[in-house]
Amino acid sequence: MRVLIVEDEILIGEAIAQVLKKNNYSVDLAIDGSYGLDCGLTNIYDIIILDIMLPELDGIQVLQELRQHGIQTPVILLTAKGDIEDKIRGLDSGADDYLAKPFHTNELLARLRALTRRKAELIPDGILSFEDVELDTNQLRLRCQDHHTKLTLKESQLLELFIHRKNIVTSKNIIIEKLWGYNSDADDSHVEVQISFLRKKLKQLPSVVMIDTIRGAGYILKKKDG
């Protein structure tokens, strides 16, 4: 589970990060709204913890931009303000939860677990679809019409990433971070091999879906031209 923390008070951000890492979360920390938005737009995070009071862009602006770009990652808003108006404004802007400072770390962990369960409920039976294909993330199976093929775990994770990022180019760095982890020794060749394997699996099916290479940028899942 990968979490992005956007918090300009470095000591607070690092303290939250340490707690999450001890509980087996992978954590990235951004200390201003602009960089936090850039990170969030990569769509590689499972949950975002977002402070409202931030330099450059405030948390509400970051949240609104993420939602306008189709990023549906669950967001917990953090703020020192406890009044109802801030809470309403944040929830109306697309936040999934709200936590006022100071808070107990056990409460934050409980809210993260709740959001994780809620996110899982949005994918009934682990089924994801794009155009004419369905991916069963539990059975590692790809289906098109009456045809199906078995996927490896990495192939399934790669296709799931592409489906979540539909219409968004996905770089090799993002694929490495999502599939192998930030501190992994995996490199571009690992990505290219998995892309090749997944393309072969898609070609086994009578599907209109393809993985297009955007030179110098990455890959995108799309419908075949024509």
Model pLDDT, residue 123: 57
| Positions of the chain with pLDDT under 70 | 81-83, 118-125, 182-183, 226
Model pLDDT, residue 82: 62
pLDDT tens for 35-73 read 999 999 888 888 999 999 899 999 999 999 999 988 888
Model pLDDT, residue 125: 65
Q: What DSSP assignment string belongs to 69-114?
A: TT----EEEEES--SHHHHHHHHHTT-SEEEESS--HHHHHHHHHH
Residue 170: closest CA among 213, 118, 137: 213
Nearest-5° Cα angle at 70, 54 to 64: 30
Model pLDDT, residue 189: 93
